[in-house]
Amino acid sequence: MLDSFFTPKNIAVVGASRDPHKLGYGVLRNLIKYKFKGDIYPVNKHASEIAGLSCYPSVLDLPHSVDLAVIVVPSEYVVSVLEDCGKKDIHHAIIVSGGFSETGEEGSRLEKELLRVAEKYDIRLIGPNCIGTIDTHAPLNSTFVVGMPEQGDIGFISQSGAMVAAVIDWATGAGVGFSRIVSLGNQIDVTETEMIELIGNDRETNVVTAYAEGISDGKQFLNLASGLSRKKPFVVLKGGRSEKGARAVTSHTGALAGSEVAYSAAFRKTGALEAKTMEEMFDWARALAWQPLPKGNRVAVLTNAGGPAILAVDAIEKAGLELSPLTNETRSYLKSRLPKAASFENPVDVLAGSGPAIYTLALEALLTDETVDAVVVIQAPQDWFIPASLAEVVAETAGLHQKPVIASIMGKASVDDALTILHKRRIPNVAFPERAASILKAMADRRDWLEMIDRQKPYKPHVPKSRAEELVKDQKWVDLLAEYDIPSPESKTAFTEKDAVTASSQISYPVVMKLQSETVTHKTDIDGIRTSLKSEEDVRNAWNEISESASRHNVEMDGVLIQKMLEKGHEVIVGIKRDDQFGPMILFGTGGTDVELYKDTASAIAPLCKLEAQNLIESTIAGKKLKGWRNLPAADVDSLIQALISMSYLAVHHPEISELEINPLYVLESGVYAVDVRGSLTEGSG
């Protein structure tokens, strides 16, 4: 139903103008200049003709309904113009005009009026305060911005009009083609998520890119973006990453899983690749649109200069990729054909005097090598052959293989012809070689996500619903975790010294004693924990010490928890945090008393599959320590993975749980145990 924003049969420009300094002139100019194939109807009550086209005093005077109205009038007139569009049976409108919610209370009131009229007449709106839409294949340019990108296969969605204007200008000079571009402005109706679906389904679009300052509907985004990523690469640049707007939370989990973390987790969940800069976003987009994905992470570097190659290698390793070892056959072949002083190892340095012919045989050898998954070709500026000749042979050789090739023909003034050749042959070029590593890492991440989706097996724990609901209501967190196969050490609550001794004897020594109090979050802060209690005397002494400490800190003591002392294990934190946008999240990382000091945590959107849980663990220092660290043996990672999956389904099954935290979760050589658990319900639950 939104196709008319890109492929209308006819358009009305309301507020069309002869004045080159007005936006209404720019919109009309672009429709004509870039050869919109349908009828164009300028609307301006002060003119009878503009740009050779008959002009109409109002929308109501148009000879018939149109597919799309582009409205460029002062904000105070937009509501009445939209009312006329409704009466004229026009169901799609782009409101370029500003002066709405971005300006304050009166603007917000006008927006509400716009929505009221749109709903009354079933009109879909883009904007207000936007630039408009572009479809290079239709063709259509409904913006007022000077310039039109070349035809291509990259779609771009932006909540910022300035970003669109900059991209249009950049693309015109960079020779990078786009399929569809849209500026959404205040998006009071059509949202970024709807555009993701629309542009993702466009047959001319092979990669979707988006600049987003927020997501209007997190759950809808998770669903639609996941569907898009299965078909096409999706690259996102998130603006407004500050944590200042995050609501206050009380647990470690809440403090460590803020809004920025939630967005990144949502992007990973859906397979969207999160760029940090505009440069990264379009570097990645070009490569994903033009090149095959690498089958592995092994990269070969081909260069004529040592310095740029060193920078490339540093960036490759920092990105988590690796240098290809090269086979003996490849090294022997290169040694027999390259200049005597050349380097036959990776990076392969053909030296400054080598020309396109040497590059050709070296690139062919590298692309043929079974240990090479991708090649970065670097050419530092020189004056004994023109860069365009190298571009020709790189493009020709790369086209014979199904491996990605990223070029870095360095320089500016001398490389324009080379870039034209590379872009025509769909070989990405970056001005500086470090950027190639970022591109290859994004391509590898997409490959890994697609493989994970293909391999993931759904897991759903079998938990009696009525039993679980009762435990949640009573906030019996340890018992609830046990239902989800996450055990806790044997424990008993004691309210007197005598009870503590009896409980310890029943559990069997050694035991741990922990203060119980609703007013204490961190028991260690008030000296409320005693460990390695091995006798009745130890238990009595511990009771007295904890009682005295509670009294000294004016803490109301609700007894103690006697818990079986576990063997030494890895302490990790596992938590549930419910994000307002994307729903339940799982947090994992270094646990124990230093959790907030190290902040070694990672988060993922629930529910998790096995590979997602594994990736979550491996993305932290805590996960690396589980392989064995100092005096701690290697831990039972399989049981930890299962616990994370179970925790994620617990979060999905019980939206009434606001936060639930296990800190620490002990990971032993065999099994995991929830040692300390606390949680809270959403307001109004329980």
Residue 311 lies in a domain: yes
**Residue 411: CATH number of its domain:** 3.40.50.261
The pLDDT of residue 248: 33
Q: State the angle between helix axes of 218-231 and 259-270 in degrees (0 to 180), rounded to the nearest 10.
A: 40
Residue 403 lies in a domain: yes
**Residue 615: CATH number of its domain:** 3.30.470.20
Residue 281 lies in a domain: no
Structure tokens at 324: 């290809």
Alpha-carbon distance values, 536 to 510, 512, 541, 542 (Å)? 10, 12, 9, 10
Contact 653, 463 (CB under 8 A): yes
Phi-psi region of 512 (alpha: psi -120 to 50; beta: other; left: phi over 0): beta
| Domain limits for position 159 | 3-205
The pLDDT of residue 519: 80
pLDDT per residue over 113-130, tens digit each?
A: 999 999 999 999 999 999
Strands 298-303 and 322-323 come out as parallel
Domain boundary among 525, 540, 564: 564
Residue 478 lies in a domain: no
At 66, the pLDDT band (50, 70, 90 cuts) reads very high
Contact 392, 421 (CB under 8 A): yes
At 199, the pLDDT band (50, 70, 90 cuts) reads very high
Domain boundary among 174, 205, 236: 205
Give me the mean pLDDT over the 91-111 stretch: 93
Contact 528, 550 (CB under 8 A): yes
Contact 356, 391 (CB under 8 A): no
The pLDDT of residue 247: 39
Domain co-membership, 402 together with 338: yes
Residue 642 lies in a domain: yes
Tally of structural domains, the chain: 4
Residue 544 lies in a domain: yes
Domain co-membership, 309 together with 423: yes
**Residue 75: CATH number of its domain:** 3.40.50.720
pTM: 0.89
Give me the mean pLDDT over the 302-326 stretch: 96
pLDDT above 60 for 207: yes
Domain co-membership, 193 together with 125: yes
Contact 572, 655 (CB under 8 A): no
Domain co-membership, 497 together with 584: no
d(CA 468, CA 449): 33
The pLDDT of residue 251: 39
The pLDDT of residue 685: 67
d(CA 235, CA 219): 18
The pLDDT of residue 382: 81
- Give me the amino acid identity at 243: E
Which of 190, 134, 113 lies closest to 159 in space, CA to CA? 190
The pLDDT of residue 246: 36
**Residue 546: CATH number of its domain:** 3.30.1490.20
Domain co-membership, 51 together with 153: yes
Give me the mean pLDDT over the 626-650 stretch: 91
The pLDDT of residue 323: 97
Domain co-membership, 499 together with 590: no
> Kind and range of the H or E element at 658?
strand 657-667
Domain boundary among 453, 482, 499: 453
pLDDT above 60 for 537: yes
Domain co-membership, 65 together with 171: yes
pLDDT above 80 for 456: no
Domain co-membership, 559 together with 667: no
pLDDT per residue over 239-287, tens digit each?
A: 876 554 333 333 333 334 348 889 999 999 999 999 999 999 999 999 9
Domain co-membership, 577 together with 525: no
Domain co-membership, 420 together with 559: no
Domain co-membership, 380 together with 321: yes
Give me the mean pLDDT over the 373-399 stretch: 93
Domain co-membership, 560 together with 592: no
pLDDT above 80 for 505: yes
pLDDT above 60 for 649: yes
Which of 56, 52, 43, 54 lies closest to 17 in space, CA to CA? 43
Alpha-carbon distance values, 62 to 26, 84, 465 (Å)? 21, 11, 62
Residue 606 lies in a domain: yes
Residue 370 lies in a domain: yes
Count of CA atoms in the C-beta half-sphere (13 A) of 625:
17
